[in-house]
Copies of this chain bind each other. A is one copy, B any other.
Amino acid sequence: MNAPDTAALTGEMLQLGRGARSAARALREASTATKNYALRAAAGAVRAQGTTILAANALDMSVAAALSPALRDRLLLDGARVSAMAQALEDVAALPDPVGRELARWTMPNGLDIARIATPIGVIAMIYESRPNVTADAGALVLKSGNVAILRGGSESAHSSAAIHAALVEGLRAAGLPEAALSRVPTTDRAAVGMLLSGLEGTIDLIIPRGGKGLTGRVMAEAKVPVLAHLEGVCHVYVHAQADLAKARALVVNSKMRRTGVCGAAETLLIDRAVAKSHGLPILTDLANAGCEIRGDEEVCAIFPGAKRASDADWSTEYLAAIIAVKLVDGIDDAVAHIARYGSQHTESIVTEDKDTAEHFLATLDSAIVLWNASTQFADGAQFGMGAEIGIGTGKLHARGPVGLEQLTTFKYVVRGSGQVRP
């Protein structure tokens, strides 16, 4: 349903923001048991309303008939996906509560007892695209971390998201939490996104976009409030001269080809010139056999005739597809300089048996995640042991890398005294 005019939409959105803000205190103070009860009740409601959710999804799918197969697959729900969604809610309930943790505590010489305590951030606007399960996954993480969510899913998944949202709200109601704790933008009007980006008169503390570069780029460029996101993952694997060949072959193929559409997929491969033939040739052969297109610099094309010639743009391209850019480099400094120039500070991996070189790589690069002898596809909250992630950040402030429950909190200082005045 589209709002009849801008004034009506503005009024509706501001009301949504105020509602979310007024729910924030209840969520901030909600006990772990209450939040978990809401999550488990929501899981029960998702299962109980499975038929309704699938019917809503069928409606979305019929409207989306013209979309690409990949987008249709993202949008599609079936019984297994609905079950997985309910299970994910229960999994978040089982995670430790990040709120109230004592992050640090010390006593000053004057007796002041100072503690840094983890607190919720407040109101988080989630702006995402077609996958309807984000409604449940993101809603669960925001709720468990004591925050309030304003959810704005893609228009293609509007019916599915509405049905899932209804189940979440049932969980809130069962736990006695305010329904506004998981608010949903009730219109698919694109102007609503612009209003979220403006912060809805100071009611939004943080925006987390989940989707393609178009959405994330718009959010980053236009938001008037902090954004937690990564624009893209131009991730590198660097095969050092002292790389173990077997490890290098396995790591490169896994980093690129396990799933090509994830942000932690490798996009550029750097190989030391000294091992271009001994290591480069078998690695490129593996990639080609796995169905990957090779775009190489001049030397790579000379060694591996199956390669296409890379253009300058290739070094900074996030393909999200079975394509890899490959370049020969002269050792660690050359590799680091290339990554610093063309990378997106997301995730980079070095393959080497030489500890000193590895530590230099790990220390020098300023990316959110740097790995030694491990696949870039580990760039994921679950793989980091966080239980779940709401996204990955490449900004410098607050949180970088996988953003899990702990990263959805901020802190305050609690100071206990006995009448101290400042001299």
Residue positions of A touching B, CB distance < 8 A: 25, 28-29, 106, 108, 112, 114, 119, 121-122, 205-206, 226, 244, 246-247, 250-251, 254, 258, 340, 358, 362-364, 366-375, 377-378, 380, 383-385, 395-398, 400-401, 410-422
Interchain CB contact under 8 A, A412 and B369: yes
A-B contact list, 22 entries, CB within 8 Å? A25-B364, A108-B384, A112-B374, A112-B383, A122-B366, A205-B396, A250-B419, A254-B421, A254-B422, A358-B416, A366-B412, A369-B412, A371-B415, A371-B417, A373-B416, A373-B418, A373-B420, A374-B416, A378-B417, A380-B422, A397-B410, A400-B413
Task: Give the Cβ gap from A377 to chain B, nearest Cβ, in Å.
Answer: 4
Residue of B nearest to A370 (CB): B414
Interchain CB contact under 8 A, A378 and B412: no
Interchain CB contact under 8 A, A397 and B226: yes
Chain B residue numbers with a CB within 8 Å of A410 are 396-397, 400
Interchain CB contact under 8 A, B412 and A400: yes
Interchain CB contact under 8 A, A422 and B205: no
Chain B residue numbers with a CB within 8 Å of A206 are 396-397
Contact (A422, B375) CB under 8 Å given A369-B415, A370-B412, A384-B114:
yes
9 more A-B residue pairs beyond the given contacts A373-B420, A377-B422, with a C-beta to C-beta distance below 8 A: A25-B340, A112-B378, A114-B385, A370-B415, A371-B415, A372-B415, A374-B419, A396-B410, A397-B398
Interchain CB contact under 8 A, A375 and B412: no
Contact (A384, B413) CB under 8 Å given A244-B419, A254-B421, A422-B375:
yes
Contact (A367, B421) CB under 8 Å given A385-B106, A397-B226:
no
- How long is the Cα–Cα vector from A377 to B226 in the complex, in angstroms? 29
Picked from B28, B370, B371, B419, the residue with its CB within 8 Å of the CB of A373 is B419
Contact (A247, B396) CB under 8 Å given A112-B378, A384-B114:
no
Interchain CB contact under 8 A, B121 and A385: no
Picked from B226, B369, B380, B383, the residue with its CB within 8 Å of the CB of A226 is B226
Residue of B nearest to A362 (CB): B414
Interchain CB contact under 8 A, B106 and A378: no
Task: Give the Cβ gap from A272 to chain B, nearest Cβ, in Å.
Answer: 18
- How long is the Cα–Cα vector from A375 to B419 in the complex, in angstroms? 8
Task: Give the Cβ gap from A359 to chain B, nearest Cβ, in Å.
Answer: 9
Interchain CB contact under 8 A, B29 and A395: no
- How long is the Cα–Cα vector from A419 to B371 in the complex, in angstroms? 10
- How long is the Cα–Cα vector from A396 to B409 in the complex, in angstroms? 9
Contact (A415, B226) CB under 8 Å given A114-B384, A410-B396, A421-B254:
no
Chain B residue numbers with a CB within 8 Å of A401 are 412-413
Picked from B363, B371, B395, B421, the residue with its CB within 8 Å of the CB of A250 is B421
Task: Give the Cβ gap from A303 to chain B, nearest Cβ, in Å.
Answer: 24
Residue of B nearest to A255 (CB): B421
Residue of B nearest to A377 (CB): B422
Picked from B373, B412, B418, the residue with its CB within 8 Å of the CB of A417 is B373
Task: Give the Cβ gap from A252 to chain B, nearest Cβ, in Å.
Answer: 10
Task: Give the Cβ gap from A340 to chain B, nearest Cβ, in Å.
Answer: 7
Interchain CB contact under 8 A, A368 and B422: no
- How long is the Cα–Cα vector from A28 to B291 in the complex, in angstroms? 40
- How long is the Cα–Cα vector from A366 to B258 in the complex, in angstroms? 44
Task: Give the Cβ gap from A142 to chain B, nearest Cβ, in Å.
Answer: 14
Chain B residue numbers with a CB within 8 Å of A363 are 29
Task: Give the Cβ gap from A168 to chain B, nearest Cβ, in Å.
Answer: 24
| Residue in A358, A374, A395, A411 with the greatest tally of chain B CB atoms within 10 Å | A374
Interchain CB contact under 8 A, A383 and B29: no
